Structure 1
Amino acid sequence: MWMYLGLLAALFLGLHNLCKKHAVQGNEVFPVLLGTVSSGFLFIASFCLLSLYYPEYAIANGYNFQKLPWSTHGFIFIKSAIMTSSWILAYQALKHLPITIVTPIRSAGPFFTFIGAILIYQERPNVLQWIGFFLIIFSVILYSKIGKKEGINFKRNKWIFAIIGATFLGASSGLYDKFLIQNLSLNPQTLQFWFCFYTILILLVILTVTWFPYAEKRRAFTFRWSIIAVGVLLQAADYFYFKALQDSDALIMLLSAIKRSQILIAVVVGGLVFKEQNKRKKLVPLLGIMIGVGLILYS
């Protein structure tokens, strides 16, 4: 069951990435990020209010919110700091790079998760899983070759390093999620609520320095419907992902790889919507990544 929940998370993540590309085009990154997280928070908060006024109904339908000790709040704040850093790097990179380059690089995330799962959680891969993960990495290298044809030098372009950093931090957060869900016994909606709350606080501090004092930057910001869509879609994806992690049999390295199937939406649909270059050539490494994910699922 947890694998199917992972595929649902991948579906919503793929749609989320398309909306995110639309939201950041020609826009300041920090206010867009604040808007997306805030819209996601309001979405989750509506369920929180419902659980306060109708607690029995909430418990019966599986979305009750837990009361947490301060120590647990500290652990959630750490996750917020990690993911805020990852998102800032990813949004900046997405603003300056094609989505068909950014998304495949982020597909290397399962490799970092894979190493962490072995070292931290002692998850043991079999031969097919090894082949699948390295096939994903090899396919990402092929994307770098295609990227050079679009004027993107992977060794000199700072936004490439930004998306690699975002990928590493995102993988670290994924490993941390397993600890929060399984070791601290947090349910998805409680984790999502407080994670968004602390992320908003962090972003407000950043915006107080980098955006609010500057009238020109404020006037340059354009609100788009996609900002709200990004927040809601991300919360939907996170909910199914965290529900999958609640299963004690769930392997974080496999879940991380399954989530990468979102690339199908980003490369095929995103390439058509944003009319990016070399779409056919990108289908070759895309196939490699999908085969890698398929091997992991089959194993």
Structure 2
Amino acid sequence: MYLGLLAALFLGLHNLAKKHAVQDNEVLPVLLGTLISGFLLFLPFFIGSKYSPEYFKEIGFHITTVPWKTHGYIFIKSIIMAASWILAYKALKHLPLTIVTPIRSAGPFFTFIGAMIIYQEQPKFLQWIGFFVIIFSVILYSRVGKKEGIIFTKNKWIFAIIGATFLGASSGLYDKFLIQNVSLNPQTLQFWFCWYTIIILMFILSIMWFPIAQKRKAFKFRWTIIAVGILLQTADYFYFKALQDPDALIMLLSAIKRSQLIIAVVVGGILFKEKNKRKKLVPLTGILIGVFLILYS
């Protein structure tokens, strides 16, 4: 649970940096930049694991050699997350952070259903209540969104963020398989995941971005692009470390990570001067109550 809360802290900071990185900017190269910075974060561990494996095993950052079949499993995760991130980044560029983040908070509901069906995880009574409080609070956010001219049923970016949320939840369920069944350690999974996702994005950019001079000129490099990659990989490291515990329930970890909302909505609302901050605090409180009930249970 504490590792999950640490992941939530870094995810909240990551969301703030991401909003700054994509504002009035080209989305795909920003995403590529964040992945490259994340990859470079783990590259010294990869090199060190080749030349001084015993030392890196001792400090807990050894990147293991994995068979080709396992590379295939990691590549599938890269495809899922590349699609999720492209949809999410595009939506974030066109929607307020205080609308995007709560919709993303519905991710635990998808994870909740998947965890019950795939892993036979059994929620307690308070966990049931907590999840439905979270979903009800997200519906309340949609009503606030209408006051900002965002009609949820007619806005394509809303559908994009919902699709990104579903894919992200699917990846979360897949993470448990990779960590517990395939027995990948966090740094090995993160290093190869970044590598394969960079390859996928380079292919997409070679078609949709590199050949178009106007889009290349529109891209602005910002320091937050590097920060996004480092903060995300740090959050994922704590999350995967939590998943290594055989008793860890993916449905609980997924919900605990939603406590990132307190940073994204409150601090983000102030930094980016978004509207209806006080009204958004009501459903935000509901989401936090849902997370508390899950923790308390």
Please tell me the TM-score bracket, short chain as reference: over 0.9
Partner of 1:16: 14
**2:243 is aligned with 1:245:** yes
- The Cα of 1:171 is off from its aligned counterpart by 0.1
**2:295 is aligned with 1:294:** no
- The Cα of 1:123 is off from its aligned counterpart by 0.2
Unaligned runs of 5+ in 1: none
Partner of 2:155: 157
Partner of 1:257: 255
- Decide which of 110, 113, 117 is 1:112's aligned counterpart: 110
Partner of 2:56: 58
Structure 1 counterpart SS, 2:15: helix
Equivalent position amino acid for 1:240 in 2: F
* Paired-residue identity, %: 78
- The Cα of 1:52 is off from its aligned counterpart by 2.8
**Distance in 1 between residues matched to 2:254 and 2:62, nearest whole Å:** 26
Once the two structures are superposed, residues 67-112 of structure 1 have per-residue CA deviations (whole angstroms, 9 ceiling, x without a partner) of 1111110000000000000000000000000000000000000000
**Distance in 2 between residues matched to 1:204 and 1:48, nearest whole Å:** 22
Cα pair 2:75 2:196 within 8 Å, conserved:
yes
1:20-35 mapped onto 2 (5 Å cutoff): 20-35=18-33
**Distance in 2 between residues matched to 1:7 and 1:108, nearest whole Å:** 17
Unaligned runs of 5+ in 2: none
**Distance in 2 between residues matched to 1:47 and 1:269, nearest whole Å:** 33
- The Cα of 1:29 is off from its aligned counterpart by 0.8
Partner of 1:181: 179
- The Cα of 1:8 is off from its aligned counterpart by 0.4
Equivalent position amino acid for 1:10 in 2: A
1:131-280 mapped onto 2 (5 Å cutoff): 131-280=129-278
- The Cα of 1:237 is off from its aligned counterpart by 0.4
**Distance in 2 between residues matched to 1:57 and 1:70, nearest whole Å:** 25
Structure 1 counterpart SS, 2:148: coil
Equivalent position amino acid for 1:231 in 2: G
Equivalent position amino acid for 1:137 in 2: I
Partner of 1:128: 126
Per the normalisation by structure 2, the TM-score is 0.99
- Decide which of 98, 101, 110 is 2:99's aligned counterpart: 101
**Distance in 1 between residues matched to 2:261 and 2:163, nearest whole Å:** 19
The alignment's C-alpha RMSD in Å is 0.6
- The Cα of 1:291 is off from its aligned counterpart by 0.3
Cα pair 2:134 2:286 within 8 Å, conserved:
yes
Equivalent position amino acid for 2:33 in 1: G
Structure 2 counterpart SS, 1:249: coil
- The Cα of 1:50 is off from its aligned counterpart by 2.7
- Decide which of 29, 43, 46 is 1:45's aligned counterpart: 43
- The Cα of 1:44 is off from its aligned counterpart by 1.0
Once the two structures are superposed, residues 158-207 of structure 1 have per-residue CA deviations (whole angstroms, 9 ceiling, x without a partner) of 00000000000000000000000000000000000000000000000000
- Decide which of 274, 278, 281 is 2:279's aligned counterpart: 281
Moved more, 40-49 or 88-97: 40-49
Partner of 1:82: 80
- The Cα of 1:38 is off from its aligned counterpart by 0.6
- Decide which of 41, 64, 67 is 2:65's aligned counterpart: 67
Structure 2 counterpart SS, 1:153: coil
**Distance in 2 between residues matched to 1:197 and 1:51, nearest whole Å:** 17
**Distance in 1 between residues matched to 2:100 and 2:214, nearest whole Å:** 29
Structure 2 counterpart SS, 1:186: coil
**Distance in 2 between residues matched to 1:20 and 1:51, nearest whole Å:** 31
**Distance in 2 between residues matched to 1:101 and 1:256, nearest whole Å:** 19
Cα pair 2:186 2:237 within 8 Å, conserved:
yes
**Distance in 2 between residues matched to 1:239 and 1:113, nearest whole Å:** 19
**Distance in 2 between residues matched to 1:56 and 1:161, nearest whole Å:** 48
Equivalent position amino acid for 1:59 in 2: K
Would you identify which runs of 4 or more consecutive aligned residues in structure 1 move more than 3 Å?
Answer: none
**Distance in 1 between residues matched to 2:44 and 2:17, nearest whole Å:** 22
